[in-house]
Structure 1
Amino acid sequence: MTITQNDARNAYRGGTIGTATPAQLLIMLFERLALDAERGLRALQAGDNAETNSQLVHAQAIVTELQSTLEVDGMPAGRELMALYGYLQRRMIQANVRHDVRAGREVVQLTRHLRDTWKRAAELAARQ
């Protein structure tokens, strides 16, 4: 039996996810969210509607997961964060359905900002 590069990558990811802290898991989600948004924008700009849809639907699934696990009343600004996630969902839909490059760019900017903010928060929390 031959182990392919994808098999090795999947085994590594499985081990990484299984041993990650909650903060690390959150960062992984945001990193993938930003990657999906970037790929979706590139596909949108190239006129590849199928790839745009694939990437943005996956990004929406990540945001849905973030929304479903957010304890709105359990954290400062929880309601505002939920509203931001809702806005992000709407902009992804606009980028996807209307082939709106401007919305796609905004999605990329927002996801990068969220990723970087959560990374910084995790770094600060680890120092305490």
Structure 2
Amino acid sequence: MIQTPQAKAALARYQSDSILSATPGQLVTMLYGRLVLDLRRAEAAQLEQDWVHASSELVHAQAIVAELSSALRPDVWEGGTQLLGIYTYATRLLVDANVKRDIEPTREALALLEPLKIAWDEAAATLAGAPAAADHVA
């Protein structure tokens, strides 16, 4: 599908507006959604031995995990320290997958992070009608 420059600009504006108007819970679910997508794309690229594309996806996934880590406030809730440990481990897996050109760490990261995405999606759906919670996310 060929997009005109106007269509591309409109899509970019829509995506930007979606992010700017999202609640903290929606932002977390957006990040997790893109994280899982990146990992699936990286896995597919690794299967094809397309290391440039795999690397790009893995680096973007690392950036998302870094963002989730930076937004995390482990001092605010009981599970924060454990989640930070998961993010740290996932980052190590993504670096290994990229440096070693190894699909197994990518798959392990996906197996580790996809259930978190599902949990955040469920939590966001449950809270969609509730008043905003405290200012901590992820």
Q: Normalized against structure 2, the TM-score is what?
A: 0.85
State the partner residue of 1:41: 43
Instruction: Please list, as runs of the form range in 1=range in 2, the aligned pairs for 1:68-87 lying within 5 A after superposition.
Output: 68-87=70-89
- Contact 1:40/1:52 (<8 A) preserved: yes
Structure 2, unmatched stretches of 5+, are 131-138
Shift of the alpha carbon at 1:124? 2.3
- Contact 1:41/1:108 (<8 A) preserved: no
Amino acid at match of 1:95: A
Local SS of the residue matching 2:78: coil
- Out of 22, 25, 50, the residue aligned to residue 24 of structure 2 is 22
Local SS of the residue matching 2:10: helix
Cα distance in 1 between the residues matched to 2:58 and 2:5: 31
Count of matched residue positions in the alignment of Structure 1 and Structure 2? 127
State the partner residue of 1:118: 120
Amino acid at match of 1:102: E
Cα distance in 1 between the residues matched to 2:9 and 2:98: 31
Q: Normalized against structure 1, the TM-score is what?
A: 0.92
Cα distance in 1 between the residues matched to 2:63 and 2:56: 11
State the partner residue of 1:52: 54
Structure 1, unmatched stretches of 5+, are none
Misfit runs of 4+, over 3 Å: none
Cα distance in 2 between the residues matched to 1:85 and 1:65: 10
Greater helix share, structure number: 1
Local SS of the residue matching 2:75: helix
State the partner residue of 1:10: 12
Percent identical: 39
State the partner residue of 1:93: 95
- Contact 1:72/1:82 (<8 A) preserved: yes
- Contact 1:44/1:99 (<8 A) preserved: yes
Q: Which moved more, 1:70-79 or 1:108-117?
A: 108-117
Amino acid at match of 1:61: A
